[in-house]
Structure 1
Amino acid sequence: MGDDTATGPDFHSAIELIGKRWTGVILQHLLAGPLRFNELRDRIPRITDAMLSQRLKELEAAEVVERLVTVARPVEVRYTLTPIGTKLEPVLAAVLTWSKEWAAAHRLT
């Protein structure tokens, strides 16, 4: 029998989480450091406020992103990757490399 780890529930849950529309782009921007909601929205063309809010809530619930609220006035909210979220850096780097190779090959055909 083959190894079912690649098709098991943990893999499925993880790939469904990071594979949702806009999620990879959000994570890629947060790899550079904490950002406010408006900063994220401004850096991601065509994303709606509702979609960005939904994705951030999903990533927060999955403990991949943390919502940081300052105690200073005015209150400032920033989103940052958690320690487990930062472990996505090599994954996203691999996807970026693959996407460039795929796009180049796709343009040739």
Structure 2
Amino acid sequence: MEPTNWMGLAAVLITTIGSVAGMWGGRTRTTVQDVPADALPAAPVQLEGTWTVSPEMYKWVIELAQREANTRSDRLEFLLGLALAHIDRQDEALQAAGLPSAPMDPELAAARDAR
């Protein structure tokens, strides 16, 4: 093979590995860990003359924030699933129409058609 073919293959491999690593890293960062109720941090100290926040109220705020974070991560996972399904349908449609996903090397196309 010519050097340009190897460089093209290396470029595809590098971008694929980068995409997979980015998706995995993004998934691990959006995963929200549920915190047990007794492991919640203590409410911040209130200044004198201001409203005080009860521990129950602080716990409700923390639980609400956790629910919203869980909803965001679930929504992101759902949207990523839809995007991947859409890409898969487009790829299948292109292959059904006889178009490869990526341009093939003429030597490879000739070898494939020679079968």
TM-score between both structures, scaled by the size of structure 2: 0.28
Is the helix fraction higher in 1 or 2? 2
